[in-house]
Amino acid sequence: MAPEGSSTPHLSAPAGSAAGTTPDSRSPFPAIADYGFLSDCETNALVAPSGAVEWMCVPRPDSPSVFTALLDRGAGLFRVGPYGVRVPVARRYLPGTLVLETTWQTSTGWLVVRDALVLGPWHHTAHRSPTHRRTPTDDDAEHLLLRTVRCVSGTVDLEVVCEPRPGYGRDATRWEYEGDGYDTAVGRPDAAPAADGADRAADGAAPPDLRLTSSLRIGLGEGRANARSRMTEGDQHFVALSWGEESLPRTWSDAADAMWRTEQFWRGWITQGVFPDHPWRTYLQRSALTLKGLTYAPTGALLAAATTSLPETPQGPRNWDYRYSWVRDSTFALWGLYTLGLDREANDFFAFVQDVAHDQLQVMYGVGGEQRLDESELAHLSGYEGAQPVRVGNAAYQQDQHDVWGTVLDSVWVHAKSRDQLPESVWPILKHQVEEAARHWHEPDRGIWEVRGDPQHFTSSKLFCWVALDRGARLARLYDAPDVAAQWQEVADEVREDILARGVDERGVFVQRYGSDALDASLLLVPLLRFLPPDDERVVATVRAIADELTEDGLVLRYRVEETDDGLRTHEGAFTICSFWLVSALVEIGETDRARALCERLLGYASPLSLYAEQIDTATGRHLGNFPQAFTHLALINAVMHVVRAERARGERFRFEAAHHAP
Ligand SMILES: OC[C@H]1O[C@H](O[C@H]2O[C@H](CO)[C@@H](O)[C@H](O)[C@H]2O)[C@H](O)[C@@H](O)[C@@H]1O
């Protein structure tokens, strides 16, 4: 399916294996790529094609989930759709928004459902928000999942089933009516005793009450709230689920207004960006909207993805919790937004970094700035298609990953350069990060792939230490501190020489780690980070070696699992960020046609809603891993913009030559 409002021809996915079709007809789980993503920049949700919300965590994106059917079919969902029909005829986002529209055809009529996490005006007027630490804006999350339904033709039996199971599916919900009618019910967790011995306190604060309100008559059953109605052409209804204090929609008109405000919020946001007039524009916009949807507005943090434990290997153990803010993923995401002129999120993220970067900068934080992200397993969940364990928390938070200083410094440099000034408050933090890079660059670490094997001398970690020192020196010059700049430049040069002496093999190809000749896709960053010019023969040799030797069916692996001790031995899919990096790197070395062909192919793997998980199974085209993932979307933006700019430059050259050679 071509993306919304696009005239782009359907790009070719591998034969018989479009990303968004149910992969295995025996599996009760939808394909990962078939989920729709909703967000209000505080909470997010995944909606299956059946109309069921199968993943939602409240009040925060890393709180225990209330709908968890994504990871266990019995762990709670919220469905709105026609009775007896599970497959819609069409799904799309309203252009420029995160409002999802699902169109249903039954044997008797047509129904259109719209889903959104509602955004409204700033509402902390009497009291300041307990969670917001950034400058208040005009907009705010309403803590409301809104679903509107219109019967547009014939007659359709509508079915609503709301069955929350708080605590990652462990607890049932006790429902009772509020008021005298059938229009509002309150659901409270009915906590079962922890038979598995799990420590509920470890899940954090008690889950909030849920309030369901509707223009339909709500019925209450064991653990669930239901509604049914025969709708005829012109009928419209709404169902809204709230976990906050804000006022609920009471009428269709309230609900329609809330939906409209939400659409306007997203359209207003995306209009601030600068998008090329190009057939791939809609992919850029969807990626930008997805990155924005992965932000946590109260603090400025950015999530790596909306989910935990969607498997990187089908039925395998590579299942991780991505509902946290990695410094690396976030700063890369800001590059992507910056490329499109969407740079306001950067201020909030830098403020977040300022909040958390006390002494040692960790590689990741909770979205509220939490430093401890202890990892545990949820043994009561089956896992997506049986992939176990399901993990919450992420032990990688304790790792040494030496790219952390360079990613922050590069981002500060990009933003300071564009404004030609460095805010006074940023200098002490920045200085500390550069000094950390200078102190630790020669030590081994876990690298940007967060391997769980022993620390190694990863070449890309040294590369990022060089970035920290190089950008630090440039920023020191901007800050008018020439002595500091000279001192940092000297160490940068030392790191550079070390990398060139020990990080390149006899073929002239950059290698994954010192003392090995394994390839690693992170070395595609050598030209992108301007460590060497793109026409340097070592750069060209590295890009070609990765393209030819580190690919499966043309898609890039981050490394070969058999050559890399990452703590797990199982196979994994192609890491999509790496394939998009290859597109950018091919453009850098002048292989634009090859870059365009690869980029077109990668866009063909997009989900029906133009979303991406972390990885692609090269054999089937299935999406693997957490979803939607910031890494993939940010790299898509950079890759597409590389190709678009290269094509434009080529077009200009062609026009120039034609004009000057014309008879
Ligand atoms: O492969 C092992 C590691 O996998 C995860 O890390 C990956 O995702 C991170 C978030 O997007 C990303 O920053 C990192 O570069 C990726 O390798 C997982 O989070 C780790 O716990 C795990 O060790």
DSSP 238: E
What is the Cα–Cα distance from 597 to 643, expressed in whole angstroms?
Answer: 10
Q: What is the CATH number for 70? A: 2.70.98
Nearest CA among 329, 308, 330, 282 for reference residue 93:
282
Tokens of 179: 């008021």
Distances (CA, A) of 302 to 221, 271, 306, 650: 38, 21, 10, 36
| Cβ-proximal residues to 238 (8 Å cutoff; 6+ apart), any chain | 146, 147, 148, 149, 214, 215, 249, 252, 255, 256
Contacts of residue 305, defined as CB under 8 A and 6 or more positions apart, other chains included, come to 294, 322, 323, 613, 614, 625, 626, 627, 628, 629, 630
| Element holding 579 (H helix, E strand) | helix 576-588
pTM: 0.93
Question: Does the beta carbon of 397 lie inside 6 Å of ligand 1?
Answer: no
CA of 288 to the centre of ligand 1 (A): 22
Q: Which of 288, 304, 291, 411 is nearest to 367 (CA)?
A: 304
Best CA proximity match to 1, nearest among 38, 49, 41: 49
In Å, the largest CA–CA distance within the chain is: 87
Q: How far is CA 532 from CA 328, 387, 433, 496, in A?
A: 21, 42, 23, 10
Is the beta carbon of 326 within 6 A of some atom in ligand 1? yes
The reply to whether ligand 1 has any atom less than 6 angstroms from the CB of 396 is: yes
**Residue-number span of the structural domain to which 128 is assigned:** 32-270
In this prediction, the answer to ipTM > 0.85 reads yes
CB 168 within 8 A of CB 75: yes
Does the CB atom of residue 321 touch ligand 1 within 6 A? no
Which residue has its alpha carbon closest to ligand 1 atom 18? Answer: 320
Measured CA to CA in angstroms, residue 37 lies from 60, 98, 225 at distances of: 16, 7, 23
The 8-class DSSP code of residue 50 comes to T
Q: What are the φ and ψ backbone dihedral angles of 58, each rounded to 5 degrees?
A: -135, 150
Q: What's the CA gap between 570 and 404, in Å, rounded?
A: 27
Interval between CA 526 and ligand 1 midpoint (Å): 21
| pLDDT value of residue 473 | 97
Residue pLDDT, tens place only, 235-274: 999 999 999 888 899 999 999 999 999 999 999 999 999 9
**Does residue 635 line the site of ligand 1, with CB under 6 A?**
no
Kindly list the distances between the CA atom of residue 641 and the CA atoms of 283, 302, 323, 335, 594, in Å, as whole numbers in the listed order.
Answer: 11, 22, 28, 12, 15
Q: Which two tokens stand for residue 282?
A: 């809609």
At residue 349, the pLDDT reads: 79
The count of other CB atoms within 10 Å of the CB of residue 625 is 28
**Residue 107: inside a domain:** yes
Q: Which residues contact 2 (CB under 8 A, 6 or more apart)?
A: 8, 9, 10
Angle formed by the axes of helices 459-478 and 427-440, to 10°?
140
CB 572 near ligand 1, within 6 Å: no
CB-based contacts of 402, cutoff 8 Å, min separation 6: 437, 440, 441, 443, 445, 447, 458, 461, 462, 464, 465
In a domain, 81, yes or no: yes
**H or E stretch covering 328:** helix 327-339
| CA of 629 relative to ligand 1 center, distance in Å | 11
Token pair recorded at residue 109: 């009529």
Rounded-to-integer distance, Cα 12 and Cα 601, Å: 7
- 646 inside domain: no
Q: Quick one: which atom of ligand 1 is closest to the CA of 630?
A: 11
Whether 2 is covered by a domain: the verdict is no
Note whether residue 114 is domain-resident: yes
Cβ of 638 below 6 Å from ligand 1: no
Q: Which atom of ligand 1 is nearest to the CA of 448?
A: 15
- H-run or E-run covering 496: helix 482-502
Integer Cα distance of 602 and 178 in angstroms: 50
Question: Does residue 42 lie in a domain region?
Answer: yes
Does residue 61 belong to any structural domain of this protein? Answer: yes
Integer Cα distance of 603 and 89 in angstroms: 22
Which residues is 240 bridged to in the sheet? Answer: 146, 213
Is residue 23 a part of any domain in this protein? no
CB 249 within 8 A of CB 216: no
Dihedral angle over CA of 352, 357, 358, 362, nearest 10: 130
> Residue 497 and residue 491: Cα distance in Å, rounded?
10
The pairing of strands 224-232 and 219-221 is: antiparallel
How far is the C-alpha of 319 from the C-alpha of 633, rounded, in Å? 20
Question: Where are the extended beta strands (E) located within 382-527?
Answer: 391-392
* Residue 566, ligand 1, Cβ within 6 A: yes
Atom of ligand 1 nearest to the CA of 305: 11
DSSP state of 270: H
- Ligand 1 centre and the CA of 351: distance in Å? 24
Minimum CA distance residue for ligand 1 atom 7: 449
Which of 118, 136, 149 lies closest to 261, judged by CA?
118
Question: How far is Cα 602 from Cα 637, in angstroms, rounded to an integer?
Answer: 12
Q: What's the domain count of the chain?
A: 1
Q: From the centroid of its chain, how far is CA 160? A: 29
Contact 99, 266 (CB under 8 A): yes
Task: Report the alpha-carbon distance of residue 607 to residue 47 in Å, rounded.
Answer: 13
Q: What share of the chain is helix, strand, coil (3-state, %, to 5)?
A: 35, 20, 45
Q: Is 498 in the pocket of ligand 1 (CB under 6 A)?
A: no
What is 348-399 written as a DSSP string? HHHHHHHHH-SSSPPSEE-TT--S----EE-TTS--GGG----EES-GGGGS
Residue from 375, 390, 449 whose mutation best tests the ligand 1 pocket (most atoms within 8 A of CB)? 449
Token code pair at residue 199: 């420590």
> Which of 320, 329, 399, 460 has the most ligand 1 atoms within 8 A of CB, as the residue to mutate?
320
Which atom in ligand 1 lies closest to the alpha carbon of residue 446?
A: 23
Q: Which residues of the chain are under the pLDDT cut of 70?
A: 1-25, 124, 192-205, 358, 420, 569, 662-663
310 lines ligand 1 (CB under 6 A): no
What residue type is 295 in one-letter code?
Answer: T
pLDDT of the residue at 7: 30
What pLDDT is attached to residue 202?
A: 45
Ligand 1: distance of its center to the CA of 191 in Å?
33
Q: Which of 270, 233, 272 is nearest to 5 (CA)?
A: 270
Ligand 1 atom at minimum distance from 629 CA: 11
